[in-house]
Amino acid sequence: MVLTLGYLTLLELINISLKWNSPKEKPFIKNLNLKINNGNILCVFGKSGVGKSSLINVIAGTTEDNLSFEGEIILNGKILNNTPIEKRKIGLLLQDGALFPHLTVEQNIYFGMNRKLKSKEKLFLIDENLKKANMEGFQKRYPYTLSGGQKARIACLRAVLSEPEVLLLDEPFSSLDTEHRNTFRNFVIDKVKESKIPCLIVTHDETDKMISNEKPIDLNTFMR
């Protein structure tokens, strides 16, 4: 497949169908198509159990053993269906952030950064991005000392600074109160624009649609 040059579509799903591996099971998501352009956010929403996390896992390459899918996952013109997880260049942010509890903020972010960068370069980038996240001076703090909003920002920075070609967020705002939710939403918007990568957010909260540059997708309409 050749992608149109100009306003390049960096992430595209073509006729994605998901089903559990059982003879009697039918696809619970059928013929889903989407495109996310450079620097844009697409929100996919739906009720619990509709398959939001399964969709994220399929794109990331972490599909459950009892789940199968049909269709094509295309990133930067390359079909990823059979590409190993570590070679997909995908930044994944799960609902709980999943920070390493035994590592400091600085160490958590440093962990996923490009190995080709020198240590001084990594530490400089960490310092600069913590300033932008209004978390200057948090380098030596541990996750247990952070609020939910602060953990979310650190997890997002770790994902973005790993230099992914696409960012996948699974229910990123659900555990935050209203104030922190709005702050983190704006933070995500800024980081996606700054990094110039496509971002897919799956959520059950329809208010998240407000940050979607691309037309939001109601996953409920793709259920069997």
What's the domain count of the chain?
Answer: 1
pTM: 0.87
Residue 2 domain flag: no
Decide if 169 is inside a domain: yes
Residue 4 lies in a domain: no
Judge whether 1 lies within some domain: no
List the end-to-end C-alpha distance of the chain, in Å, as a whole number. 28
Round to whole Å and give the CA distance between 143 and 29. Answer: 36
Q: How far apart are CA 118 and CA 109, in angstroms?
A: 14
In a domain, 168, yes or no: yes
Residue located via tokens 């703090």: 141
Domain of residue 123, residue span:
9-222
Least confident of 25-34, 35-44, 89-98, 146-155: 89-98
177: domain CATH number is: 3.40.50.300
Q: What is the pLDDT of residues 46-59, one digit of tens each?
A: 988 899 999 999 99
Rounded Cα distance between 174 and 211, Å, is: 15
Rg for the chain, CA atoms, rounded: 18
Examine residue 183 and state whether it is found in any structural domain, yes or no: yes
Task: Tell me the pLDDT tens digit for each residue of 184-219.
Answer: 888 889 989 988 999 999 999 888 889 999 999 999
Say what the pLDDT of residue 9 is. 60
Residue 206's φ and ψ, nearest 5 degrees, are -65, -15
For residue 3, is it within any domain?
Answer: no
Q: Does residue 147 fall inside a structural domain?
A: yes
